[in-house]
Homo-oligomer: A and B are copies of this chain.
Amino acid sequence: MKNKQWLLAARPQGEPTRDNWQYTETELAEPGAGEVQVKVEYISLDPAMRGWMNDSKSYIEPVQIGEVMRAGAVGEVIKSNDDNFSAGDKVYGNFGVQSYAVCSTKGIHKVDPSLAPLERYLGVLGMPGMTAYFGLLKTGLPKAGETVVVSGAAGAVGSVVGQVAKIKGCRVVGIAGGQEKCKYLTEQLGFDAVIDYKNEDVKKALRSACPQGVDVYFDNVGGEILDAVLTAINLHARIVICGAISQYNNTTAVKGPSNYLSLLVNRARMEGIVVFDNAPHYGEAAQEMAGWIAQGKLKAKEHVVAGLETFPDTLMMLFKGENFGKLVMQVEHG
Give every chain B residue within 8 A of A254 (Cβ-Cβ).
258-261
Q: A270–B265 contact, CB under 8 A?
A: no
- CA of A254 to CA of B264, assembled, Å: 14
Let me know if A273 is at the binding interface, CB within 8 A. yes
Which residues in window 244-294 of A have CB below 8 A to B?
A: 244, 247, 253-274, 277
CB-contact partner of A263 in B227, B262, B268, B271, under 8 A = B271
Say yes or no: is A73 at the interface (Cβ < 8 Å to chain B). Answer: no
Interface of chain A residues 39 through 87 with chain B (CB within 8 A): 57-59
Q: How far is the CA of A59 from the CA of B241 in the complex (A)?
A: 24
Asked if B257 contacts A255 (CB within 8 A), the reply is no
Bound-complex Cα distance A222 to B258 (A): 11
Q: Inside 8 A of A267's CB, which chain B residues have their CB?
A: 59, 271-274, 277
How far does the Cβ of A181 sit from chain B's closest Cβ, in whole Å? 24
Total number of A residues with any Cβ neighbor in B under 8 Å: 33
Chain B residues with CB below 8 A from A271, complex form: 263, 267-270
Find residues 156-189 in chain A having any chain B CB closer than 8 Å to their own CB.
none
- Complex CA gap A258/B255 in Å reads 5
Task: Tell whether, in the assembled complex, residue A241 and residue B263 are in contact, meaning their CB atoms are under 8 Å apart.
Answer: yes
Q: Is A242 an interface residue (CB 8 A)?
A: yes
Q: A243 in the interface, Cβ–Cβ < 8 Å?
A: yes
Q: List 24 A-B contacts (CB under 8 A).
A: A57-B265, A58-B265, A59-B265, A222-B261, A227-B256, A241-B264, A244-B264, A254-B259, A254-B261, A255-B258, A256-B257, A256-B258, A256-B259, A257-B260, A261-B272, A262-B272, A263-B270, A263-B271, A263-B272, A264-B273, A266-B272, A267-B271, A267-B277, A268-B272
